[in-house]
């Protein structure tokens, strides 16, 4: 019998690439811990006056956002979230929730979302201000290292192809179709845009508005009050930026879970990230 030759496809194989340097990994975990403490201590501070306004002073009759408790027609207490003229019942979560003693009490955000405790405002401020400077130093180091190493220009900067494919990339993520093979080696346009918005948009805003809320800082830099149209406006922008960071964190966490928990965690612990590549075709003979 004659033998004929052909080609057969090999199975896909995993290739490990070095995705994150040690410096990036350390800064990432410091950032994660610091942001969590900042958010929770910030919510405790917010609970001391759980409403937001625009301008130099509070207009109690026209808040932008307010979290409070009220009694209904039957005398039952309910938690209420008011956004402008719209109100929503949020009992058990916002406005009216359980305290450390198990009893319901009026508070903006629930106790499990705040640090260091239920109502320890002075210590909450100390935690918040201390970790704010940790966050600033950590963020400055990240940007500096990204500039020196070329990580910012090489891996994070948006290119024309990223802008052109942005809609397609968003649609693929909504369908839970994540990059594979060579595409997984690089950040896609959606990731780049998110990181750039946080680094050069939300982070500077949250630092500047935080400083604007300090009367001591305002005395030395009064232009901050002019820039943000008053201390209450700065507080509102600060809160919105904090919620935007929380949203970024939650989406980031969801993507880690959906696109491969262990692979993503390993890359941020050891630096090694596995991608699947098609094995080259191999020549085979058969009768």
245: left (phi over 0), alpha (psi -120 to 50) or beta: alpha
pTM of the model: 0.85
Q: Do residues 165 and 189 lie in contact, with contact meaning Cβ atoms separated by under 8 Å?
A: yes
In angstroms, how far apart are the furthest CA atoms of the chain? 96
- Domains along the sequence of the chain with CATH: 7-56+111-285 (1.20.950.20), 57-108 (no CATH)
Name residue 188's beta-bridge partners.
none
Q: Summarize pLDDT for 160-175 with one digit per residue, the tens.
A: 998 999 998 899 888 8
Q: Summarize pLDDT for 205-256 with one digit per residue, the tens.
A: 999 999 999 988 988 999 999 999 999 999 999 999 999 999 999 998 998 8
- CB neighbours of residue 68 within 10 Å: 19
Name residue 276's beta-bridge partners.
14
If 0-12 CB within 10 Å is exposed, 13-18 middle and 19+ buried, where does residue 10 land? exposed
């Amino acid at each position: 019998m004659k033998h004929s030759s052909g080609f057969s496809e090999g199975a896909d194989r995993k290739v490990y690439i070095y995705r994150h340097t040690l410096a990036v990994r350390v800064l990432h975990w410091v950032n994660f811990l610091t942001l969590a403490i900042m958010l929770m201590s910030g919510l405790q501070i917010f609970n001391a006056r759980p409403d937001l306004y625009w301008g130099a002073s509070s207009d109690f009759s026209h808040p932008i956002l307010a979290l409070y408790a009220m009694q209904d027609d039957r005398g039952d207490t309910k938690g209420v979230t008011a956004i402008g003229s719209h109100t929503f019942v949020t009992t058990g979560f916002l406005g009216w929730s359980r305290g450390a003693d198990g009893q319901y009490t009026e508070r903006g955000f629930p106790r499990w979302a705040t640090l260091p405790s239920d109502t320890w405002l002075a210590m909450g401020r100390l935690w918040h201000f201390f970790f704010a400077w940790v966050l600033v130093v950590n963020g400055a180091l990240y940007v500096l290292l990204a500039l020196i190493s070329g990580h910012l220009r090489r891996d994070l900067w948006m290119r024309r192809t990223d802008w052109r494919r942005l809609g397609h990339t968003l649609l693929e993520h909504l369908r839970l179709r994540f990059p594979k093979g060579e595409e997984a080696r690089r950040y896609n346009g959606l990731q780049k845009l998110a990181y750039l918005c946080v680094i050069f948009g939300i982070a500077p805003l949250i630092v500047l508005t935080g400083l604007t809320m300090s009367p001591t800082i305002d005395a030395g830099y009064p232009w901050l009050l002019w820039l943000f149209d008053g201390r209450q406006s700065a507080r509102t922008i600060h809160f919105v930026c904090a919620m935007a960071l929380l949203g970024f964190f939650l989406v980031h966490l969801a993507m880690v879970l959906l696109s491969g928990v262990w692979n993503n965690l390993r890359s941020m612990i050891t630096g090694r990230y596995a991608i699947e590549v098609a094995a080259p075709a191999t020549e085979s003979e058969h009768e």
